[in-house]
Amino acid sequence: MRFLVVDDSSTMRRIIINTLNKIGYTDIVEAGNGREGIDRVSEGPVDLVITDWNMPEMNGIEFIRALRTMDGKDKLPVLMVTTNAAKDDIVEALRAGVNNYVVKPFTPETIKEKIDAVLAH
């Protein structure tokens, strides 16, 4: 299973990648913003996307909206990891096409639970 991690913070990408490694996932590609994320998805197969919200050039919401218009990507599982945790934020993310939502700070157990829930759908 190949993951795509999209975050402008190299620290947060490393944290998420380390977390994925801990829970048994090692096939991971990275992108620094939504536009790069679209490039990675176009370049090869991706099975699950983990994305930040606030990013330069193309933010997480714009990225997901663009992703959902791509051929065959309307059902690609997307998990959003962000500090934006207000009810309105979550509603906006879900409307944009996010499948599940993780609020920072998070534990590896939380990430695993959310990934399992997304994949079970």
Partner 1 sequence: MIETLRACTIDVFGTMVGTALAEGTPLDGDALRPQSNVVGQIGFGGSRSGLVVFYATFAGAGFITRMLLGLDEQTEPSKPEVADAIGEITNMIAGSFRTRMATDGDAWAISIPTVTMGSDFYMTPLTDGRRTMLPFRMQDHEIFVELVITTAKVRRA
Q: Does 11 bind partner 1 (CB under 8 A)?
A: yes
Site string for partner 1, 62-101 (x = CB under 8 A): --------------------xxxxxxx-------------
DSSP state of 60: H
Distance, in Å, from the CA atom of 105 to the CA atom of 63, rounded to the nearest integer, reads 22
**Least Cβ distance, residue 28 to partner 1 (angstroms):** 14
Q: What is the distance between the terminal CA atoms of the chain, rounded to a whole angstrom?
A: 16
Residue selected from 23, 26, 42, 54 as contacting partner 1 according to rule CB under 8 A = 54
CB 58 within 8 A of CB 33: yes
DSSP-derived 3-state class of residue 21? helix
Residue selected from 1, 2, 12, 59 as contacting partner 1 according to rule CB under 8 A = 12
Distance, in Å, from the CA atom of 106 to the CA atom of 82, rounded to the nearest integer, reads 10
Q: Which residues bind partner 1 (CB under 8 A)?
A: 9-12, 14-15, 18, 54, 82-88, 103-107
